[in-house]
Amino acid sequence: MQTTKVKNKRLPSKDGKSQLHVVIWEPQGQVKAILQIAHGMVEYIERYDAFARYLNKKGILVVGNDHIGHGHTAKEKDLGYFTPDHMSATVVCDLHRVTKCMKKRYPDVPYYLLGHSMGSFMVRRYLMTFGEEIDGAILCGTGSHSKAILTIGKVAADLSGLARGERHRSRMLEILFFGTYNRRVPRAERKNETDWISKEPQVREQKMQNKLSNFTFTVNGYRTLLDVLSYIQRQENIEKIPKTLPIFLIAGQEDPVGNYGKGVRQVYKSYKNAGILDVDIKLYKGDRHEILNEKDREQVFADILSWMHC
């Protein structure tokens, strides 16, 4: 049985000052494929350890970095702050730097990219620039947002930035973006504002107890989120995605980020309407946002593995 060797390394960020914290989970023996992971908002790459070790047993190397403003890439005072210019573009360029590094080491190995939540938004932008360089993409916990919602968010972020500055940790913006996400969680199960994340109490508890996965985004952080959402939903940018690139959309049916499946289906339709030939979608009944951390996660793992043909 294959076992795991975990390596940490540093790569310079596109922002010109940060050093990206990169983790590589290497299987023993032949590497059949590589999966690069782009983590979500207010988390860090080591949260994907169980998933990575599962894939290692199947001969798949897993790699991922902490984005700027996150995890061990950022200083504590910079958590939730990205960069003043070229915000989401910088995050995407950082993902591409990891891709180039790994493809240099393994030039002939199939290469896949998975993004969860905010990471899925970054991957969707990545596909519009670097999609020709990978063999497939998995968009986990993604969604679609109306122009009206994005406009309201931008106005609120602009006002908050003018009043308090770009590094202000805005509770108001946090409520605006996520305040309704618990509404479909049964009242008997509600313990805090993150119950929508997962049905598993220990997952929610671990997330709350770790300062790397429990902090408030800065105004700049919300600007970055709005920046990528606005970019990836423009039709002219969707048209830039390679038409033959395989894409797998996966989400929980009780995930508010994807509007309980509706937003995920909208992304699916937008890709099909753009002429992308190979787009698959699967929604997991009863699952909330982090389907890689739900009770049926082994099924999700297996579905991803099967889709990768590994």
Answer for the pair 33, 102: CB distance below 8 angstroms, yes or no. no
Tokens of 91: 């995050």
Q: Identify the residue whose tokens are 């699952």.
A: 287
Report if residue 178 sits inside a domain.
no
- Residues 6 or more apart in contact with residue 218 via CB below 8 angstroms: 69, 80, 81, 166, 167, 168, 169, 170
Q: What average pLDDT does range 74-99 have in this prediction? A: 96
* pLDDT reported for residue 42: 98
Query: Parallel, antiparallel, or unpaired: how do β-strands 19-27 and 60-65 relate?
Result: antiparallel
CATH number for 134: 3.40.50.1820
Please determine, for residue 64, whether its predicted confidence score (pLDDT) is greater than 70.
Answer: yes
Q: Identify the residue whose tokens are 């959309």.
A: 249
DSSP per-residue codes, the chain? ---EEEEEEEEE-TTSS-EEEEEEEEESS---EEEEEE--TT--GGGGHHHHHHHHHTTEEEEEEPPTTSGGGS-GGGTT---SSSHHHHHHHHHHHHHHHHHHHSTTS-EEEEEETHHHHHHHHHHHHHGGGSSEEEEES-----HHHHHHHHHHHHHHHHHH-TT-B-HHHHHHHHTTTTTTS-GGG--STTTTS-S-HHHHHHHHH-GGGS-PPBHHHHHHHHHHHHHHT-HHHHTTS-TT--EEEEEETT-GGGTTTHHHHHHHHHHHHTT-S-EEEEEETT--S-GGGSTTHHHHHHHHHHHTT-
Report if residue 95 sits inside a domain.
yes
* pLDDT reported for residue 131: 98
Report if residue 45 sits inside a domain.
yes
Q: What average pLDDT does range 130-136 have in this prediction? A: 98
Report if residue 161 sits inside a domain.
no
Over the stretch 13-54, which tens digit does the pLDDT of each residue have?
999 999 999 999 999 999 999 999 999 999 999 999 999 999
Report if residue 73 sits inside a domain.
yes
* pLDDT reported for residue 235: 96
Of 9-13, 40-44, 144-148, 229-233, the least confident: 144-148
Distance CA 50, CA 64 (A): 14
Distance CA 185, CA 135 (A): 37
Tokens of 237: 């940018």
Report if residue 282 sits inside a domain.
yes
Report if residue 126 sits inside a domain.
yes
Report if residue 124 sits inside a domain.
yes
What band does 157 get if pLDDT is binned at 50, 70 and 90? very high
**Domain count of the fold of the chain:** 1
Answer for the pair 241, 137: CB distance below 8 angstroms, yes or no. no
Distance CA 127, CA 205 (A): 34
What band does 133 get if pLDDT is binned at 50, 70 and 90? very high
Average pLDDT over the chain reads 96
User: Positive or negative, the Cα torsion across 90, 263, 43, 38?
Assistant: negative
What are the C-alpha distances in Å from 117 to residues 171, 197, 205, 257?
20, 11, 19, 8
Answer for the pair 291, 252: CB distance below 8 angstroms, yes or no. yes
Residue 33: strand pairing partners:
60
CA neighbor of 190 nearest in space, from 173, 181, 255: 181
Range of the domain at 52: 4-144+234-307
